[in-house]
Amino acid sequence: MISINCYLVSFLYLLHLLANVSSQSYKTKEPIKITDSNWTNVLEGEWMVEFMAPWCPACKSFKDVWTEFAGWGYDLDITVGVIDVTENPGLSGRFLVTSLPTLYHIKDGNFRIYQGGRKTTDLISLIDEKKWNAIEPVAWYRNPNSIQMGVLGNFFTAAMFIRGIYNTMTDVYGIPEWLCYVIFAILTIIIGLILGLLLVLCCDNFFPAKYIPLPPERLAHKPKDDPTDDDDIIDDTVEQKQTKKTSLDSKGPSEPSGSASQVASDSEVRKRTQKAKE
């Protein structure tokens, strides 16, 4: 009987040791890497997600804290993830990340940006004491699961794709930077013209212009252009000429420019002038 009890105690002690070992190994587990393909997993359950970049000094110093916090995920019943923005630019645009590292608390599709302390104890108390309830969720138009933020994420992905092409042109093929800008400018103009042409064609096909005839009432009152009678024009011209001639005849002959009295006065002035000279 005593031997059975000893075996039972030993077995329970062994289970306890195994549980501690498994717990310690879980606490040293790395955060889950989130990518463009599996990011929708954060919409279910409770998550803490870090946005980081390998070149970021602050991210490097925060890495140990985040790894330690990930080890507490089992005890806190939370999943800890990490997103590398250099490998997933679409997610940085979808979540509108403007600084690194950026921490998000996500629970059942509600997104909150955590801007508190960056120590392990601060992160643990955030989850254990549910301090995240005091943080206002992001607005609906900034919700990463919305259509507009998805479009913004696609723009970020396209921008990084173009940047990759630019780096390849300059580093691999040795094309000068100014020539790269010229090539991109020409391509932008060509693509804009093609898209504009497609837009016009779509509008003409799906929304053609419709002819709207005038109502019968307006057609009935519409004045008609009457042809002008040439005889009336001739008669009016003759009548105007006759009227002008009659007015000239009524005035009579024109009077001389000077009157007789004025001529006499001029002659007297001349005589007086001659006498004064003599």
∠ Cα 38 43 44 (to 5°): 105
* Two tokens, residue 176: 């000068």
Out of 56, 180, 202, 203, which one is annotated catalytic?
A: 56
The rounded distance, in Å, linking the Cα atoms of 102 and 50 is 6
The rounded distance, in Å, linking the Cα atoms of 54 and 62 is 12
The rounded distance, in Å, linking the Cα atoms of 117 and 121 is 9
Which H or E run contains 26?
helix 2-27
Out of 59, 180, 202, 203, which one is annotated catalytic?
A: 59
Active site residue 59: yes
Active site residue 202: no
Which H or E run contains 105?
strand 102-107
Q: Which of 106, 26, 105 is nearest to 68 (CA)?
A: 26
Task: Kindly list the catalytic residues.
Answer: 56, 59
